[in-house]
Structure 1
Amino acid sequence: MNYQIRIQKILAQLEATGEVTIKGLAQTLGTAEITIRRDLNQLAADGMLSRTHGGAIKVNQPELPHRFQNKAAVNQVAKDHICRRAAADIQDGDIIFLDCGSTVFRLCPFIRNKKIKVITNSIPVIYALQDSHVSLNIIGGEFDATRQAIHGKMATQHIASYHATKAFVGVDGITPKGLFANSEKEATITLAMAAQSRHTYLLCDDSKIGKATYYQFADLRLVHTLITNATSDILKPFKKSGIQLISTP
């Protein structure tokens, strides 16, 4: 049984029972205990569970509005692959911006154990990272209940007061012509975060590639790195853009 299938089964059992043991998982999955121990250690490092002597317990996740939960659950496996890769570029001591996108939100479990500072306008990100090693800087402004985020003039002024090593943002669409959003408010936040960061990462699954939506707010030069699950064939039109292209499994 390969790693990804084991992880899915371990997390499913943990969700159902709240607690698992190495011995029990080894018997259920037909895998050596040393392999299960390694899997649990990796999941604990990613913030997906808490290790106990002989097993693991479930990490309590925040209750989010159903509308946001549903959006975050779309293409969840692809988003997790993207965010695991993105987290590998985040080092202790980094100061990072996180926007309110559902893909960026999936980054939270993979950075809970990192000693970093996060500046965000996302309420779900704040809840997901509370009681973690992460230091939070919460952007102020007008609350958007639909997006579970803070927007407005005060929010952009807040962002302009800080400098980050990295920004992780999402979009509603990306084509060789540029970046697209469904909301001018979200586009303004993305532009503000990118302007105050040394390196901007765009995290998006393949459903956003080649998609032009309501509002084109920037050209491709706004971002330095695109991390996506899109195949190399789909990414061909972007190869001359100057963006670093990282394709996950």
Structure 2
Amino acid sequence: MTFQKRAYKILELLEKFGEVEIRQLAAEINVSEVTVRRDLTAMAANGLLYRTHGGAMKISEVIKPVSFVNKAGVNIKAKDAICKRAAADIIDGDVIFIDCGSTAFRLCQFIKNKKIKVITNSLPVVNELLDSAVTINLIGGEVDATRQAVHGTTAYEHIARYRASKAFLGVDGITVEGLYAGSEHEASNTLAMALQSDCVYILCDARKVGKTSYLKFNDLSLVNILVTDYNNPDVTEFETKGISVLSVTV
């Protein structure tokens, strides 16, 4: 089968499923996984798809906004294990940033009794922490109803006024080459919070490790600690970049 025919079949499968794995493609097309990897790399270079750690994703699936509600309901057990571990590093007196990611939101249940200050652009985080021991600082700006978050120039200016001991942030993808986001707004907020923090935690479930997305917004120098349920041996690649990896078991 020629490359053109394989590419057509790959795009057909992406149209059907949105995201596919290398093993699945190799079985469907009846070629080796090595051939599939080579095809995906070539197709990604031509802008036909996005490469992920274990396969590929349809471009429209990456670019279109995903509602907070939809994201929050995915992979809850992993997110809870990640956030429980991250919360163990938060002590009374801390000032922390929490962004609008669905993983970072799961941190709330583990910090309600801590005497800390939380600075956030996430409306669900604010709602979850009301009537708790936590003091809340809601970032101002324009409200994105789909993401249930505050964005915009005013939000970035607000963030720049504060300094935090720790930031707990999410990304749409992380590779040894850098950090990826699904939109410029989310990337800008994440970057602004990280730059105003003494220690930056990335909370990231296994689906996002090795995955690229719409926008690469920074290299790994931004990150101090990665908390993840991704337990493959190549996670040590992040440690060679100076990142401490805290692995959790789901």
TM-score of Structure 1 vs Structure 2, range by shorter chain: 0.7 to 0.9
Structure 2 SS opposite 1:191: helix
Q: Which residue of 1 aligns with 2:109?
A: 109
Q: What amino acid is aligned across from residue 145 of structure 2 in structure 1? A: A
Deviation (angstroms), 1:71: 1.4
Query: Pairwise mapping of residues 64-75 of structure 1 onto structure 2 (< 5 A)?
Result: 67-75=67-75
Q: Which residue of 2 aligns with 1:99?
A: 99
Give the match for residue 136 of structure 1: 136
Q: Which residue of 2 aligns with 1:222?
A: 222
Q: Which residue of 2 aligns with 1:195?
A: 195
Match of 1:162? Answer: 162
Q: Secondary structure at the match of 2:217?
A: strand
Partner of 1:88 in structure 2? 88
Structure 2: distance between partners of 1:206 and 1:239:
16
8 Å CA contact retained: 1:181, 1:214:
yes
Alignment correspondent of 2:147? 147
- How many Å separate the matches in 1 of 2:161 and 2:204? 27
Cα distance in 2 between the residues matched to 1:183 and 1:174? 15
Give the TM-score normalised by the residue count of structure 1: 0.72
CA distance in 2, matches of 1:236, 1:195: 25
Q: How has the CA–CA distance of structure 1 residues 234 and 79 changed in structure 2, closer, same or farther, with 3 Å as cutoff?
A: farther
Q: TM (normalized to structure 2)?
A: 0.72
Specify the SS of the correspondent of 2:146: coil
Alpha-carbon distance between aligned partners in 2 of 1:140 and 1:85, rounded to the nearest angstrom = 29
Q: Match for 2:175: what amino acid?
A: T
Please give the alpha-carbon distance, in whole angstroms, between the structure 2 residues aligned to 1:164 and 1:67. 28
Following TM superposition, by how much is the alpha carbon of 1:172 offset from its aligned partner in structure 2, in angstroms? 0.1
Determine the structure 2 residue equivalent to 1:204: 204
Q: Distance in 2 between matches of 1:140 and 1:147?
A: 15
Q: Distance in 1 between matches of 2:214 and 2:172?
A: 9
Aligned equivalent of 1:36: none
Give the CA deviation at 1:234.
Answer: 4.1
Instruction: Give percent identity, aligned residues only.
Output: 60
Give the conservation status (yes or no) of the 8 Å contact 1:232–1:247: no
Give the equivalent residue in structure 2 for 1:119.
Answer: 119
Whole-Å separation in 2 of the counterparts to 1:147 and 1:70: 10
Q: Which amino acid aligns with 2:85?
A: R
4+ aligned runs moved over 6 Å, structure 1 = none
1:245 maps to 245
Shift of 1:83: 0.2
What does the per-residue CA deviation read over 1:109-132, in whole Å, with 9 as the maximum and x for residues that have no partner? 000000000000000000000000
Separation in 1 of the partners of 2:108 and 2:204?
15
Conservation of the 8 A alpha-carbon contact between 1:121 and 1:139:
yes
Look up the equivalent residue of 2:165 and give its one-letter code. T
Runs of 5+ in structure 2 lacking a partner? Answer: 1-65
- SS where residue 185 of structure 1 aligns? helix
- Separation in 2, partners of 1:106, 1:226: 16
Q: How does 1:19-30 map to 2 (within 5 A)?
A: none
Higher relative contact order (CA 8 A, sep 6+): 2
Match for 2:150: what amino acid?
I
CA distance, structure 1, for counterparts of residue 144 and residue 234 of structure 2: 34
